[in-house]
Structure 1
């Protein structure tokens, strides 16, 4: 459990009463609220759900806690720096546990690959599968580290909202062959098809097609090696609650069960929001952690847009959808001792399945699965002796020509999952299932207001990344800022938290801001 610390955030001082409204209490919105509170703003966070966390929230069912979205924490220093900006100590409030191994990948032929932080252990795994690929793997690691320093520590942690920001980095993009795909880069370094998959699948964790997403994203391999993979005890939902506590300790408010209907604009400047029930909340700046596409197409539906028009958003490529099955099993904690915290089960196809999902919009008969078994690390997720599982399958989003009818396919797809899990990972589990819940792209559309039910907003292709992505400061409306997965630098916990760091570089300090009180008086 997360323990409250005695040291509170420094109180807001000075004469300013500058107000900020943050739309959405997802991880990006909460991180933004923390950053704004540290800058002296009086922050109100508004969210339509009943708990903070957005996609990182959880639900309870029959004694099982189901983490709905993110399951791992990488690059924990971005959280440490976020807490430090608020005068607090992250590790005193959040209990992170390093995982070893990170995950196991399994293929239909029975071969496996175990990912760990130790470089020698990883080289041994590569050698076990394909001895001739060890040198190529070492080169891949060097490539990954170089792209980490450029793509994450440089581009990912500073604004990219001006054209000159892009022009300055174009030579580096060219030198690093950013036009090549993640899979293409892996294929250049190793020959074994299993290793090519193991080194290229990571973009799926942020909604990208490995065969089309820019090779800059091989930086994830360095993230894992350098910083490890962690689990937050209590789940990411506990991290969200800890973030919400920081916000309220700073004097901010969380308005849950309150949905924003529209961002209010006067004379070209954001002035606040109108809620669905008609209530108006005034502010000096507005930060939207709603999906960037939803923000522009719905929350600004009465405003004329120059760049992020409805037509442009429809032409954009969106990340895939997700089918997630959450279920509990009775009396299984000691069963399946070879099944750890994270397992990736590959179907018979890699390239063909990805093409069906991203390009053809077809729900395939075969599937690949990400299996999360947090009960091996965190007993609090299930009753004693029981297990809690989260099984995710990438599927097409709802924006294809003939979208999947999930009313008809929800249960048949789950039955296919059961057959694959019983055959390849959890024999006999179906007879022990207790609690069960499924999320499809329909739930992502309706619960999170995600365009086309996409799992991770706009896909991170090269012409939809950095300057090409929705900017953290809106070029459409003065005083409007955006944060979260659909903005720069992108999806994933490090990405959305870094978007708040970028936001803090763009938003002026509260002292000296022309407040709504002063504007009203004038």
Structure 2
């Protein structure tokens, strides 16, 4: 007989309290738990990892804290609103610092482009790189603001689970040319290929191909201009830990190291979950922060689906995979003084590399790398005098029979990443290595239960966005809700937190559920 785990004992906030189980402690799941707690639910969050945060969690090796996923916050007000909805003060719980500059982009020809605060700063950078494109850049910023108002503040903060929700927005999609890609829109405004890349690469941070993802995502340029780029001291892990504290203060609980094996149903409605240990927990509602593919294919494997069938999910387009090398260097603080907190290092190709990653699913010999160096800002990221890095390279996901065999390719590819970093950015760094860890799409598949090792769930193409994306309220089973990167409004920290804001518009107050 399995020994009883006291963490799984029923907990209560009173005779009328309704139980909500949240599957997954990513930022979407944690923000959902906070908001459900504020609505009167007794909340249990269950997560398979030993740290909260999901893809925003961290690991520590030889004193180096590696922030595993997202590294920046672009719309801090979504967190301030979340804390306010729970009667708390975000800035009292999290030390969020504005970055300046935001990041630097470097090209293979030695040229560079620095992104920072203020229109004048950016206008001067554009003028330095490509004087003929200043007016086009100004038009691009106006375009991005319109799409922010429509896409983020408009449909991004409202439920999109009814077809009429989409139909009402069609005139806006048409007027803003949502059928065009991000890259095509940038190319319409500026002529310099480097600047086209600088204005179009952002969808890669939410798993999309800039040459195919809808131009609605140029709104990110407005987010950067209007709200800045921020870093949480202690990393995103510190934000996740602060969210856990709020949940516990509300009377909720967060259970780590437990896998949810199945969502249980009866008569077309959720009844609870079964854990990997076999323990069953009852619930009035279940909120899944797991990938929708995993939710419908695995957690509801014994429940007949009408829309999100295995066939439909198999035929969906998934975001690219990620190769991430986390490493620490000893005695290098102050070295490579021209390399800041965030650097984007471009390979010799842009569109050709995107085609290899997304269309051919071919592991190219060349690469582009995002280098994160938090230790220049945050002394808690590394031992004194040392540095902490991660180098991220977009790669194909694991879809198809010809998927990359990472068991054989991992070291070869790591050596290529090392060579690029040595030759282009941080020469000699390998002589100072004091910690090293590698994540490949196979790691994402096993650690985060991500279908096909995709880094960001479903790719945010136009017919996989808004109403076409898995809904925040499931049409398959009553009492099931979804939050996180794979549901509306999409991937990226602001969106996954906003998904819980949409959730609260769909979930009744606990008192109403009890009365029913």
TM-score between both structures, scaled by the size of structure 1: 0.96
User: C-alpha distance in 1, partners of 2:330/2:255?
Assistant: 37
Aligned equivalent of 2:182: 182
Q: 1:335 is paired with a residue of what secondary structure? A: coil
User: C-alpha distance in 2, partners of 1:350/1:300?
Assistant: 40
Aligned equivalent of 2:454: 454
User: C-alpha distance in 1, partners of 2:87/2:64?
Assistant: 34
Query: 5 Å matches for 1:319-338?
Result: 319-338=319-338
Residues 86-142 of structure 1, C-alpha deviations (whole Å, 9 max, x = no match): 000000100001110100000011100000121111111111111110000000000
Residues 194-248 of structure 1, C-alpha deviations (whole Å, 9 max, x = no match): 0000000000000000000000000000000000000000000010000000001
Matched, 1:374 2:365: no
Aligned equivalent of 2:122: 122
Q: How far off is 1:50 after superposition?
A: 1.1
Query: 5 Å matches for 1:47-196?
Result: 47-196=47-196
Query: 5 Å matches for 1:264-279?
Result: 264-279=264-279
Aligned equivalent of 2:262: 262
Check conservation: 1:14, 1:511, Cα contact below 8 A.
no
Aligned equivalent of 1:437: 437
Matched, 1:37 2:54: no
User: C-alpha distance in 1, partners of 2:250/2:160?
Assistant: 29
User: C-alpha distance in 1, partners of 2:182/2:239?
Assistant: 31
Matched, 1:465 2:465: yes
Q: 2:363 is paired with a residue of what secondary structure? A: coil
Check conservation: 1:272, 1:280, Cα contact below 8 A.
yes
CA RMSD between the two structures: 1.0
Q: How far off is 1:51 after superposition?
A: 1.3
Q: How far off is 1:512 after superposition?
A: 2.4
Check conservation: 2:72, 2:230, Cα contact below 8 A.
yes
Q: How far off is 1:514 after superposition?
A: 3.7
Q: How far off is 1:255 after superposition?
A: 1.2
Aligned equivalent of 2:508: 508
User: C-alpha distance in 1, partners of 2:416/2:470?
Assistant: 37
User: C-alpha distance in 2, partners of 1:369/1:17?
Assistant: 49
Q: How far off is 1:21 after superposition?
A: 0.3
Q: 1:511 is paired with a residue of what secondary structure? A: helix
Residues 235-284 of structure 1, C-alpha deviations (whole Å, 9 max, x = no match): 00010000000001000011111110000000000110001111000010
Check conservation: 2:13, 2:251, Cα contact below 8 A.
no
Q: 1:325 is paired with a residue of what secondary structure? A: strand
Residues 369-410 of structure 1, C-alpha deviations (whole Å, 9 max, x = no match): 000000000011111110000110000000133000101110
Q: How far off is 1:365 after superposition?
A: 0.2
User: C-alpha distance in 2, partners of 1:46/1:446?
Assistant: 17
User: C-alpha distance in 2, partners of 1:338/1:179?
Assistant: 40
User: C-alpha distance in 2, partners of 1:75/1:30?
Assistant: 17
User: C-alpha distance in 2, partners of 1:388/1:258?
Assistant: 30
Structure 1 outlier segments of 4+, above 4 Å: 12-15
Q: How far off is 1:16 after superposition?
A: 2.1
Q: 1:512 is paired with a residue of what secondary structure? A: helix
Q: 2:435 is paired with a residue of what secondary structure? A: strand
Where structure 1 has 5 or more consecutive residues not aligned to the other structure, the ranges are 1-11
Matched, 1:356 2:356: yes
User: C-alpha distance in 1, partners of 2:146/2:186?
Assistant: 15
Aligned equivalent of 1:423: 423
Q: 1:472 is paired with a residue of what secondary structure? A: coil
User: C-alpha distance in 1, partners of 2:449/2:430?
Assistant: 32
Matched, 1:252 2:252: yes
Query: 5 Å matches for 1:397-412?
Result: 397-412=397-412
User: C-alpha distance in 1, partners of 2:262/2:63?
Assistant: 38
Check conservation: 2:13, 2:42, Cα contact below 8 A.
no
Check conservation: 1:15, 1:511, Cα contact below 8 A.
no
Q: 1:135 is paired with a residue of what secondary structure? A: helix
Aligned equivalent of 1:231: 231
Aligned equivalent of 2:285: 285
Aligned length in residues: 505
User: C-alpha distance in 2, partners of 1:140/1:354?
Assistant: 22
User: C-alpha distance in 2, partners of 1:90/1:129?
Assistant: 39
User: C-alpha distance in 2, partners of 1:18/1:380?
Assistant: 40
User: C-alpha distance in 2, partners of 1:512/1:496?
Assistant: 26
Q: How far off is 1:301 after superposition?
A: 0.4
Check conservation: 1:272, 1:284, Cα contact below 8 A.
yes
Q: 1:497 is paired with a residue of what secondary structure? A: helix
Aligned equivalent of 1:7: none
Where structure 2 has 5 or more consecutive residues not aligned to the other structure, the ranges are 1-11
User: C-alpha distance in 2, partners of 1:514/1:87?
Assistant: 23
Check conservation: 1:271, 1:285, Cα contact below 8 A.
yes
| C-alpha distance 14-511 of structure 1, shift in aligned 2 (>3 A) | farther
Matched, 1:480 2:480: yes
User: C-alpha distance in 2, partners of 1:80/1:238?
Assistant: 15
User: C-alpha distance in 2, partners of 1:312/1:142?
Assistant: 37
TM-score between both structures, scaled by the size of structure 2: 0.97
Check conservation: 1:273, 1:282, Cα contact below 8 A.
yes
Check conservation: 2:17, 2:514, Cα contact below 8 A.
no
